[in-house]
Structure 1
Amino acid sequence: MNKPVVLITGALTGIGRATALAFARSGARLVVSGRRQAEGETLEAELRQLGAEAAFIQADVRRDDEVRNLVDRTVARFGGLDAAVNNAGTEGQPGAVVDQSAESYAATFDTNVLGTLLSLKHELRVMTAQKSGSIINISSTYGHEGAAYAAVYAGSKHAVEGITKSAALEVAATGVRVNAVAPGPTDTGMLDRFTGTAERKAALASSVPLARIGKPDDIASAVLYLASDGAAFVTGQIITVDGGKTAG
């Protein structure tokens, strides 16, 4: 693609931020989104310093009208939408199943599942009309495994993967591709909150066959591949990037 138009939700930190920087370096035109205006404007400036045409648009993916506005403003600004990365997510409230509540469930599923669904809804509205585009949802290896003390989060990511495959089948005939990347342990604020201590984080790293925790750039590389013409025959897939952790 020649200077593709890319939209990234949850772009302000971690994997989303690394992905935005990677797309900027590759020459993409970018709209980055998140809920914090000041941090978004800082990221926009950083992307422009890399030579990218970039804009920050504040949006909450849990709100249909805000996601519609986000996608419509992206198209108005750049004339189309070639790739979208649905990265907005939360770990919610980790803990035992018996400690969960309707509120902790909703807080996680509203962002991780409803947010992904609403993003797909409006991105596909544009992409199916133009008969092209690539959407990459961000899942987790917990999206195809169980996870003690993270049942609600894992359940939300199972849902993301099911929605990814279903959407891919629904729109394949239009030429639009929908895939997901499932990171394993990756060095982000979310992982720090999950592990709680440096010792637990180090123990997790030692359990990875490649003997390290992933970097956000590792995940960004997989996203850029799925958005590229090199992945033109790839749809409905969950690409696991976990240093071999789930290989055996």
Structure 2
Amino acid sequence: MTTNQVGQFAGKVAFVTGAGTGIGRAAALAFAREGAQVAVVGRTLADNDETVRLVTEQGGQAVAVVCDITDEAQVQAALAKTIDTYGRLDFAFNNAGVEQHKAPAAELAMAEWDRIVNIDLRGTFLCMKHEIPLILAQGGGAIVNTSSGAGLIGIKQNAAYCAAKHGIIGMTRSAALDYADQNLRINAVCPGFIDTPMMDRFTHNSEQEREKVIEQEPIGRAGMPEEIANAAVWLCSASSSFVVGHALAVDGGQVIL
């Protein structure tokens, strides 16, 4: 399928998970602005459709793809739909994830541990596992996995989330070495506190709780989804051509406190 888009990613295809809201939606819009055709991947069709509408409104091309990333068959089907629609895959932003219900480590329910690790770590791995052959078939490209500031430091009462996000970084670095000599660069982005629906849930929609969170940001504010999206686009671009296996903190200085 041809496109009349212009930009550094013209003629390329990006697969973005968690694209129905927040960082994923901002990333879908950012990739489209650079000329990429975008697979908007998420669990909720209405959210995906809204992202597609926004992409189309700005002159881009996108297709909505419903997918639960913990289900390998659904991941494979989502990628197959992307290939059927656009004929190729060049970039993937594996961004889908969920936050943990806070609890001290010894009080963390095993069901909650399993939920977080299954979505945040296993789901990211399943996407990457099945994206890699498709990107290699095009002669290379880039994958960006969303870790977190919690993948670089410890966060109180978040043992499962920290374990999963640390795991994403280790997985990213290992896979990056597997394919660095095949023109496939794999990196991770590590957001700080970002103004998204996840932030609202994390702070229980409490302005007081929100202020406590923002106090942890040296920059004095929460990040915006577009700031993470821009980092993901950069990590897929020729401007980062020598960046391999890196975990890029985009966090307002939080992890160097």
8 Å contact from structure 1 (residues 32, 54) kept in 2: yes
Q: Which one of the candidate residues 69, 83, 92 is aligned to 1:75? A: 83
Separation in structure 2 between the aligned mates of residue 206 and residue 12 of structure 1, nearest angstrom: 28
Q: Which one of the candidate residues 92, 109, 126 is aligned to 2:134? A: 126
8 Å contact from structure 1 (residues 113, 157) kept in 2: yes
Deviation larger for 192-201 or 138-147? 192-201
Corresponding residue SS for 1:54: strand
Separation in structure 2 between the aligned mates of residue 239 and residue 223 of structure 1, nearest angstrom: 9
Deviation larger for 28-37 or 122-131? 122-131
Residue pairs, 1:95-174, within 5 angstroms:
95-174=103-182
> Residue 236 of structure 2 corresponds to which residue in structure 1?
227
Work out whether 1:24 is the aligned partner of 2:24.
no
Work out whether 1:36 is the aligned partner of 2:44.
yes
> Residue 242 of structure 1 corresponds to which residue in structure 2?
251
Q: Which consecutive aligned stretches of 4+ in structure 1 deviate over 4 angstroms post-superposition?
A: none
Work out whether 1:212 is the aligned partner of 2:221.
yes
Alpha-carbon offset, residue 193 of structure 1: 2.0
Separation in structure 2 between the aligned mates of residue 150 and residue 220 of structure 1, nearest angstrom: 25
Deviation larger for 184-193 or 60-69? 184-193
Alpha-carbon offset, residue 226 of structure 1: 0.5
C-alpha offsets along residues 34-64 of structure 1, whole Å, 9 cap, x if unaligned? 1111222222122111111110011110011
> Residue 46 of structure 1 corresponds to which residue in structure 2?
54
8 Å contact from structure 1 (residues 105, 152) kept in 2: yes
Alpha-carbon offset, residue 180 of structure 1: 0.5
> Residue 73 of structure 2 corresponds to which residue in structure 1?
65
> Residue 202 of structure 2 corresponds to which residue in structure 1?
194
RMSD: 1.3
8 Å contact from structure 2 (residues 12, 36) kept in 1: yes
Separation in structure 1 between the aligned mates of residue 118 and residue 215 of structure 2, nearest angstrom: 33
Question: Which runs of 5 or more residues in structure 1 are unaligned?
Answer: none
8 Å contact from structure 2 (residues 83, 89) kept in 1: yes
The amino acid that maps onto 2:84 is: A
Corresponding residue SS for 1:2: coil
The amino acid that maps onto 2:252 is: G
Separation in structure 2 between the aligned mates of residue 110 and residue 206 of structure 1, nearest angstrom: 31
> Residue 9 of structure 1 corresponds to which residue in structure 2?
17
Separation in structure 2 between the aligned mates of residue 11 and residue 40 of structure 1, nearest angstrom: 7
Separation in structure 1 between the aligned mates of residue 40 and residue 147 of structure 2, nearest angstrom: 19
Equivalent pairs counted in the alignment come to 248
Question: Which runs of 5 or more residues in structure 2 are unaligned?
Answer: 1-8
C-alpha offsets along residues 163-186 of structure 1, whole Å, 9 cap, x if unaligned? 110110111111101001000111
8 Å contact from structure 1 (residues 94, 153) kept in 2: no
Separation in structure 2 between the aligned mates of residue 7 and residue 40 of structure 1, nearest angstrom: 13
Separation in structure 1 between the aligned mates of residue 198 and residue 48 of structure 2, nearest angstrom: 19
Separation in structure 2 between the aligned mates of residue 146 and residue 247 of structure 1, nearest angstrom: 12
C-alpha offsets along residues 156-211 of structure 1, whole Å, 9 cap, x if unaligned? 10111111101101111111010010001111121222233211211222332211
Percent identity, please: 37
Deviation larger for 236-245 or 32-41? 32-41
8 Å contact from structure 1 (residues 186, 214) kept in 2: yes
